[in-house]
């Protein structure tokens, strides 16, 4: 149990939390940036401090979903630890970071014996709703010897951000691309708009990709295979699929390539 830290490059750590979602810590000479905060069933702030000591760090939330933002409350006491997110994801932030979602996740975490047994109590977790993050701007953040470029890529959510680390030719896709990509949440864009935005990422110079729901570093061709095979014919052939909790949405699964899938909202596709 606990965080699983995978140092994928000398200054990049991809860290899986006990619930199975990943965050990424990029450490420069002067400062660090934590991309996403996981479910918050463990203390993310303490974990970061154990890895980078007292070096200053900021947080970028790739989007508003609970599995990326609930852990932000564990960073509250850390001086100057700004938490950033693109503005388009602000309106629904409290839906995913609020009490109701916390109760749901608490039940899931307790079912797995993860809360109430050590440092984080049930009450601490439930009271963890955060203020709205600060507004992130697309562009570069210099960490000292390594740069983080925030790229807006609406799709999985309207304010989804991807991150490029030019010196390492590494792209972080958040939830905009996983080998299993979900594009059916109420705030998600339609699949045609998503496709246009995800194709734009191919113009950047990178050789490897990290995503939020897999621990390993992928070679770029896995991502390119997905994007290049996201054709009209593949989308038209998508089959109905049931996603628990989202039965009211006409979710369809497109088998893109080599085990990679896209689940999207068929009605939004039809209306585009």
Residues contacting residue 50 through CB under 8 Å, at least 6 positions apart: none
CB closer to Zn ion, 143 vs 191: 191
CB closer to Zn ion, 132 vs 180: 180
Closest approach, Cβ 66 to Zn ion, in A, equals 8
Q: Is residue 9 within 8 Å of residue 168, measured between CB atoms?
A: yes
> According to the binding rule CB under 5 A, does residue 66 interact with Zn ion?
no
Q: Is residue 181 within 8 Å of residue 195, measured between CB atoms?
A: no
| DSSP per-residue codes, 96-154 | HHSHHHHHHHHHHHHHTT-SSSSSS-HHHHHT-PPPPPEEP-SEEEE-SS-EEEEEE--
CB closer to Zn ion, 17 vs 27: 17
Number of H helices, E strands in the chain: 9, 17
Stretch that binds Zn ion, among 31-39, 78-86, 114-122, 171-179 (CB under 5 A): 171-179
Number of residues that bind Zn ion (CB under 5 A): 2
Closest approach, Cβ 11 to Zn ion, in A, equals 25
Closest approach, Cβ 68 to Zn ion, in A, equals 6
Closest approach, Cβ 10 to Zn ion, in A, equals 28
Please report where in the chains the tokens 């059916």 appear, as a residue.
Answer: 184
CB closer to Zn ion, 128 vs 155: 155
| 86-145 binders of Zn ion (CB under 5 A) | none
CB closer to Zn ion, 43 vs 178: 178
CB closer to Zn ion, 78 vs 132: 132
Query: Rounded to an integer, what distance in angstroms lies between the CA atom of residue 177 and that of residue 161?
Result: 11
Beta strand 57-60 with 32-35: parallel, antiparallel or unpaired?
parallel
Binding Zn ion by CB under 5 A: which of 14, 64, 65, 195?
A: 65
CB closer to Zn ion, 74 vs 160: 160
Beta strand 22-27 with 161-165: parallel, antiparallel or unpaired?
unpaired
Stretch that binds Zn ion, among 36-44, 85-93, 173-181, 247-255 (CB under 5 A): 173-181
Closest approach, Cβ 174 to Zn ion, in A, equals 7
Stretch that binds Zn ion, among 33-41, 53-61, 65-73, 245-253 (CB under 5 A): 65-73
> According to the binding rule CB under 5 A, does residue 175 interact with Zn ion?
yes
The encoded tokens of residue 115 equal 């809360």
Stretch that binds Zn ion, among 27-35, 161-169, 175-183, 251-259 (CB under 5 A): 175-183
Q: Is residue 229 within 8 Å of residue 237, measured between CB atoms?
A: no
Query: Rounded to an integer, what distance in angstroms lies between the CA atom of residue 250 and that of residue 205?
Result: 36
The region that residue 166 occupies, defined by phi over 0 for left and psi between -120 and 50 for alpha, beta otherwise, is: alpha
Closest approach, Cβ 183 to Zn ion, in A, equals 10
Closest approach, Cβ 209 to Zn ion, in A, equals 16
Residues contributing to the site for Zn ion (CB under 5 A): 65, 175
């Amino acid at each position: 149990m606990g965080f699983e830290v995978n140092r994928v490059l000398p200054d990049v750590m991809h860290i899986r939390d006990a619930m199975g979602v990943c965050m990424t810590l990029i450490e420069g000479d002067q400062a660090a940036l934590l991309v996403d905060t996981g479910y918050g069933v463990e203390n993310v702030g303490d974990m970061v401090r154990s890895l980078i000591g007292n070096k200053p760090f900021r947080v970028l939330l790739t989007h508003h979903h609970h599995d990326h933002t609930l852990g932000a409350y564990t960073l509250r006491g850390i001086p100057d630890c700004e938490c950033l997110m693109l503005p388009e994801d602000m309106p629904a932030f409290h839906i995913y970071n609020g009490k109701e979602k916390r109760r749901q996740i608490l039940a899931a975490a307790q079912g797995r014996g993860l809360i109430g047994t050590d440092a984080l109590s049930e009450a601490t977790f439930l009271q963890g709703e955060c203020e709205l993050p600060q507004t992130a701007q697309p562009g570069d953040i210099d960490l000292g010897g390594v740069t983080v470029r925030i790229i807006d890529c609406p799709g999985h959510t309207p304010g989804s951000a991807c991150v490029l680390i030019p010196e390492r030719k590494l792209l972080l896709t958040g939830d905009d691309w996983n080998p299993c990509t979900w594009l059916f949440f109420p705030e998600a864009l339609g699949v045609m708009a998503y496709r246009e935005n995800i194709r734009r990422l191919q113009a950047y110079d990178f050789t490897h990709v990290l995503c939020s729901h897999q621990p390993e570093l992928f070679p770029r061709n896995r991502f390119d295979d997905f994007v290049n095979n996201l054709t009209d014919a593949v989308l038209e052939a998508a089959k109905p699929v049931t996603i628990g909790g989202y039965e009211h949405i006409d979710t369809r699964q497109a088998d893109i390539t080599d085990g990679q899938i896209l689940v999207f909202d068929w009605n939004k596709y039809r209306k585009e």
